Each structure stands twice: as C-alpha cells, then as structure tokens.
Amino acid sequence: FGYKVKFVMNITDVGHLTSNSDTGEDKMEKGAKREGKTAWDIAKFYTQAFLADSKKLNLMEPDVRPKPTEHIAEQIAMVETLLARGFAYRIDDGVYFDTSKFAGYGALTGQNIEELKAGSRVEPNPQKRNPTDFALWKFSPKDKKRDMEWDSPWGVGFPGWHIECSAMSRKHLGDQIDIHTGGADLIPIHHTNEIAQSEATTGKSPFVRFWVHGQFILVDGEKMSKSKENFYRLSDIEAKNFDSLALRYFYMTAHYRAFLNFTWTALESAQASLNELRAQVLSIKNQVSRHTLSPEKVEKVDAYRKKFGEALANDLNMPEALAAVWEVIKSNIPSQDKYDLLMDFDEILGFGLKNVSQLKVEEMKLPKSSATILSYTQTPLSGPTISRLDERELARQQGNYGTADKLREDIRLIDKLTVEDTSGGTVVKRTSD
C-alpha cells in the first residue's frame, strides 16, 4: 500500500506477575526457581526459543526488538512524570497509577471506571485507592534479593508489567502510534492500562489510532490450558511430520478476530493445501513464457491484484486473500503473469513460494496419521483421502484383502489416485502420473 512502516516487537523479560492484579511472583523468577536457573537464564532461553520458532514460521523481522530490562531508565522517567502530574501515588509495596484521575479509563472495553470497579475481584492490598489501580513500580521484598531488580528514586524494585510497554513504544515510536497489536485477552487490563499511563504522561490522545486484537485459538473446541495438557508447541507439530508453514497456512484460514479451532484434521487439510499450492507454483514456473497480453487478459491480471489488495484492506481478511490466490491458479491468464502475481502475493502470505524450485516434491511433508508413511508424487493428500488410506491400511493389516481392494478402487474413483503396495510402504500417485 506504499506506507513506510517502522515495526517494533517487544519481548517481555521482566515485570509480568503470575496475577494480572499485581500480586504473585514475577514469571521469570518463578521459572528460575522451577528450573534451578537465574531469571536472566530463563529470559535468554525462551527468547532464543521464540526467535527460532519465529524463523520457522517465516515471521517478519521487526526493525526493533526492545526488552524491558534494557529500558529501565525510560520506565523510571515515566513513573516520575506520572507522580509529578498527580496520576500516581506511593504505598508500601510500590508506586501505583490512580485510575480515578484518568477520565477516559476503560474506554477501550466499552465500560466506564465504575463498571470496571464493580467487576473487579476483591483486592488483597487495602492501601490501593481503587480496585482498578495498577502497579507502575514494585518494591523488592525486604527479606530477599531478586535476580532482576534495580535502584529507583523510591527504592530497589522492578517495573510493573504495563509501564514497560508504554516506555518502550514511546522511545521507539513516539508519543502516539498508528497500529498496536495483541491478543483479545489484553483489552480489559493491559491495553486499558497502557492507554491510561501513556496519555496521562504525554497529554496526547489517542495513544493508539488502530488496535488490532487477535482472538483465541481453541484446541478441539476448548481453551488451551496447562492443566488439561491440550496445548502444543511447534516442536510437537514438527514431530508429527507437519511442515511448520502448514501452521502458518492454517492460521490464515480464519479471520484474526474470529476464534480458530485447532484439530489435527484441520492441520492435515492445511498441509495438503500448502503442498498443492507449492506443486501448482512449481508447475506454473516450469511453464513460464512471456506473451503479449490481450486487453482482456490485462484486465483479469489487474482484477486479481485488486481483489487480493481489497482483501487485505478489508480488516486483513486473509481467508479472502487465500481465495484470490486459488482463483489466480485456476485462471486462464498466461503462466508468467500467473507466476508474477503469486510471487507478489507471497510477499504478504510468507509461504516461501519463491523457493519452491528448491523443493523436491517427493519430500513434501505428509502427516504421520497412518501406520505407514505414504510416499507420493506431486500428490498433496486431503483429510478424507488420508482417512480412506488409513482404513485400507488397517484392512490389510487385519487380512481383509477384499475390503482393502474395494477401498483401493474407491480411492481411484473418488480421489483420482492410484495406490501401490511396495516393500517400502504404500505409494500414492495421481492416476495421470
């Protein structure tokens, strides 16, 4: 769209307590105790793990990746300003923001401060003036030394979870920013508090012009939780022989503001679609030749480009953008123009389609959903196809060869695939291969 963008992505390495109400342990300190390491070790380990996974998912590199531990001076300066302007006060365990002094508190949630107070849990700290007040700076316990603590004008301690984001965004993006992203769960507390402390510090409104909040990912229809053990790491997905970019494709099948339900079957479908997309791009690339376009074809190329752009402009509607990709693939425009369009689209999609020539199609990943690893040639397999192959494999293992033969014929007729049993496993090919 022609905008020059400065992309800042922070990594929270201190200050996020186990409770959103400014109680409990710092998550880094808690992790350090659990694993017998320092909080600095924990921060370094998980930062490196995050960066490694980000690379596998082909996430865009930010221009700046700040950390709160590297911006302590900026956070202290912001707290001093809030105290001087009457928006903050000091009590025994730290310095707090007085939400009653900020007229627009809670606007992001659609509630006013009285409604937010009514919905707050009973606070364990009786010194707080309002239930919605939040910590700007927490004092270290007097009876022990923390791994992460710093001197301040008010005593040794550490920053609150919210102040770090405001201080870092102000340093790297200025008093007001255009786009702020985050999960939908951050709206009622974290982002509400960011707005309050930032606008109270600078006197400028709005702090953020556009908020972009992603909705939750569910697992088998339920919220992910450690107690249910229904969450997965990228390494778990790779262990089942899925391509990490299949997960990226899966994420784009739903709008970012809609719940997305993760199932292994859904991921199999995303893997199959990604494999098919790669195979199509490889085929198109091998056919490329430049032709003079007729006015009708020029109009079609422009229409596809416009459709993809409109999908992005429509609140980042990635399902619509993916639909435009498949329309291009099925179109009758020349291969060279088709390829050029797909490469341009992939600058946004991030599927690495420019590198498809380096892929051996035979090595495209297939989920380990069968007892047998299936090899195939330019054949991405859908969930229903895999189910039929699984059923056939089970029939063979049980000696039900009549059933297996019938399923082989079903696969030939329904899926347009031939199935061959070899000493190395089951080989699946297109009927035209």
- Number of residues that make up the chain: 433
pLDDT attached to residue 355: 85
Alpha carbon dihedral 311, 312, 318, 323, in 10-degree steps, equals 30
Strand locations in 274-432, DSSP E?
Answer: 375-377, 417-422, 425-430
383-403 as b/e, with b when 16 or more CB fall inside 10 Å? bebbebbbbbbebbeeeeeee
- Give the Cβ contact number of residue 270 at 10 Å: 22
In CATH terms, is domain 219-360 a member of 1.10.730.10?
yes
Alpha-carbon distance of 361 to 351, in angstroms, equals 15
What is the distance between the alpha carbons of residues 206 and 316, in angstroms, rounded to a whole number?
22
Cα–chain-centroid distance for residue 165?
Answer: 19
3-class secondary-structure state, position 264: helix
**Does domain 27-214 fall into CATH 3.40.50.620?**
yes
Q: What pLDDT sits at residue 357?
A: 60
Nearest to 277 by CA among 210, 206, 176, 361: 361
Per-residue pLDDT of the chain (433 residues; tens, 9 = 90+): 889 999 999 999 886 665 555 566 677 777 787 888 888 998 999 999 999 999 999 999 999 999 999 999 999 999 999 999 999 999 999 999 999 999 999 999 987 777 666 656 545 688 999 999 999 999 998 888 888 999 999 999 999 989 999 999 999 999 999 999 999 999 999 999 999 999 999 999 999 999 999 999 999 889 888 788 889 999 999 999 899 999 999 999 999 999 999 999 899 989 988 988 988 888 888 777 666 666 777 888 999 999 999 999 999 999 999 999 999 998 988 888 999 999 999 999 999 998 876 444 445 554 544 333 333 334 456 656 766 777 787 788 778 889 889 989 988 888 888 887 765 456 677 665 4
What pLDDT does 356 receive?
78
Residue 16's pLDDT is 62
**Domain boundaries, given as residue ranges, for the chain:** 27-214, 219-360, 369-430
Query: Has this prediction a pTM greater than 0.85?
Result: no
